[in-house]
Amino acid sequence: MKYIIILGDGMADEPIPALNYKTPLEYASTPNMDYIASLGTLGLIHTIPEGLPPGSDVANLSVLGYDPKGCYSGRGPLEAASMGIKMEPSDVAFRCNLITLNSDNNPKMVDFTSGHIDSETAKILIKELNSKLGTDEFAFFPGVSYRHIFIWRKGKTEMHTHPPHDITGKTIKEFLPIGDGAEAIKGIMEKAREILAHHPINRERKERGQKPANGIWLWGQGRVPKIIPLSTIFALRGGMISAVDLLKGIAYYAGLENLPVNGATGYIDTNYAGKAKKAIEALNKLDFVFLHVEAPDEMGHEGNLEGKIKAIEDIDKFIVGPILNEIVAKQEFRLMVLSDHPTPVRTMTHTANPSPFAVISSLDGENMKKRYTFCEKSAYESGIYISPGYTLLGHFLGDWKAIVSKECK
């Protein structure tokens, strides 16, 4: 038996007037996802427990069968793990975005990605910050594009920080960290602004009409989480395909093998076909593959409706279709496609609303065959609602008939 999950990050959305009040999932051409929803089982999954932020960290932990209330400590340590950063129990990891601020005395968040700065350029800037601000207590580590890590040795976590993608176009002053330890973090952010503002790379970027990486944003802090590997819980061998450090870090703690794909970017230009090919190859030796695509989420954060529709259609055409065709022809399987949370293009940030999932199985009696299409409206009409969301994986890997018969709601 082979198990595969294909997750389009932030695919879910809300009805949009420009699409005749359809969602991007309803509007997009997705014959392969519709096939799975039509012949398999369609429902809604609620991945965000009450009181936790509606982030991809919390949502993907839920999809992978973990109760975030019991194991979630913050986004930072998950991403740090994927980068091989050694953390002591007393250390605190922060996600560190390279950002673009305007030049006002009371600056606004222009772009939380610095124009999706390339990794090599970003690496130079992060290393510069570490050389100027790094100590035995503080350290910067370069990651991918705008996504990096800041470590506070023997640091503090009891402060409130805001995700930078929630404050695009807003004055940053009211969203700066508050609470125990916040003054130290705000001090690092202010010193980083002074260093980056005069860096030759940013002068060159402005001359070329590119957005300067003239600030950092520290958020998502946490200590090392307590997560039991899936290989221990379910006695399976699994792999993760993703371009972003967050999912790679979750994979590290979940005991999943990280499976690299050339050209995987975490953006709209990612190597969709390469991810599908890697998943098909991996299933020859592994029992379970989790394939994550970041592009719909990035398009939602940009408010890019056309881009989000394209990302959804590319996932369907270049990932879902090839994998479905390959796995149907060869072996017994269960295949799930889903969104972890909505990222509406209207609000350009995550929400905690439930998202659609669809599962198709090769086994008799494990498909509902209700002739649905894969979208939020049909998922609601199905009557299948999985909450808490972390319970879904156990059924997907075990007793799926409990879902089909609506014994688990």
301-326: pLDDT as tens digits: 999 999 999 999 999 999 999 999 99
What residues contact 402, with CB distance under 8 A and at least 6 apart?
395, 408
Greater confidence (296 vs 407) lies with 296
pLDDT of residue 104: 72
Give CA separation, 359 vs 8, 41, 322, 355, in Å. Answer: 14, 5, 16, 14
pLDDT at 99 over 50: yes
What residues contact 407, with CB distance under 8 A and at least 6 apart?
none
Name the residue ranges covered by the structural domains of the chain: 2-72+227-404, 80-222
CB 147 within 8 A of CB 79: yes
Q: How many CB atoms lie within 10 A of CB 277?
A: 17
pLDDT digits (tens, 9 = 90+) for 11-68: 999 999 999 999 999 999 999 999 999 999 999 999 999 999 999 999 999 999 999 9
Task: Judge if the upstream peptide bond of residue 15 is cis by omega within 30 degrees of 0.
Answer: no
Q: What is the mean predicted confidence (pLDDT) over 285-301?
A: 97
pLDDT of residue 406: 64
CB 44 within 8 A of CB 342: no
pLDDT of residue 364: 87
pLDDT digits (tens, 9 = 90+) for 333-392: 999 999 999 999 999 999 999 999 999 999 989 999 998 999 999 999 999 999 999 999
**What dotted CATH number matches 2-72+227-404?**
3.40.720.10
